[in-house]
Structure 1
Amino acid sequence: MSEGVGIAIGHRIRGLREQAGWTQDRLARAVSLHGVSWTQARVRQVEAGNITPDLTVLIAVARALASFHGPLPVSVLLPDGDLTDAVSGKPMTPPLLVNARPVTESLDWTRADDKAALDLGLDADHFAMLTDYVYGHTASVERDERAGADATPQKRGRVMRGVIEELREALPRWEQHRADTEM
């Protein structure tokens, strides 16, 4: 949503107030009956999005408007999204990028992964997502598994070049997968 939370809440409060046929002053008096000292000027500021009310105020507004609309959950005053989900008791989930194990938190990330990302023209985060998609771990872990524990630096380099080529070939498939899952 491009508008701010305060503006969205203000629009919803104004819409419900107007549906009830109430003035800003009447809403202010009704909210004050529910323990929040409100004035007509405060209602105007909230409806304009200049002030974002806290949860205590939103509860009082919902109770005040319920005298006209019937039982009214606080979530009806909120914009759709995480805020509504949180008030409704829905558990929060991390965004997709967090699930992709960001590179800054990976203990398996090495300089070889930095170099491979650069070779493929990807930033570290996108390279980490690509290798996670293809192998389920970093490119350097894949290299080490293939090369073996007693591999020479030359063998590790040769194996890493093969891993990079596989990733280069998988790149279009991964980009399509990302495009499909972001829709």
Structure 2
Amino acid sequence: MSKSGAPSLAQVIGGNAAELRGNHSSEELSVCARRFGLKWNTGRVSDLESGKISPTVTTLFALSKALTDLTGAPVSVADLVRPTTKWVEINDQLTVRAEVLVDALSNGSPLANHDRWLGPREIADAFRQEAGGGPDAMRVSDIAAALSESEVKLARSMGLSRVQFVAKALDLWGQPFGDERDARAGADASPQKRGRVARVLKQEMTESTGDGDD
């Protein structure tokens, strides 16, 4: 499991492709993609845009051409890999700053400056730095590094970093999200019940920031 909590490169590319596609349908994009050698159907477009597949460099070139043809606006490979977040996960051992990724792919710049990429030790340090200097910083960073994949996805859906997600849970309930969910659901709870409780907790977290539905 990744420790960074940053979106993967595949997710960045997928999100950008979906945004660049605009109001055009998945079917229209798949037709354009086939013109440029990509044997895609609407399912493949959906998989790409949801970050389920990691496109190769050749696929990125063909996709940029397909999107250019579809939209009538120039789309480059750099447009597809340009992140909207501060960090991007390359794999579970390497996370880089967004501008480093764009520079490397656009200009061939090396990953030479260590303050612009994170390995496992640097990721843990970054969590502690984000958590601040209070007495709970170490606890927050340790919990953030151990979040389950489902908790990471939940945090992302709320627009929260891993550290923000953990800190909010501790502030609301005095314990991590997973512990609160299990306590409310009960020791013998089914996955379905745990899921229902998780949705309730998510709503409580959302409402605590004033972003819930009225």
Normalized per residue, the structure richer in helix is 1
Please state which band the TM-score falls in when normalised by the shorter chain. 0.3 to 0.5
Greater Rg, structure 1 or structure 2? Answer: 1
Query: Which one has a larger percent strand, Structure 1 or Structure 2?
Result: 2
Higher relative contact order (CA 8 A, sep 6+): 2
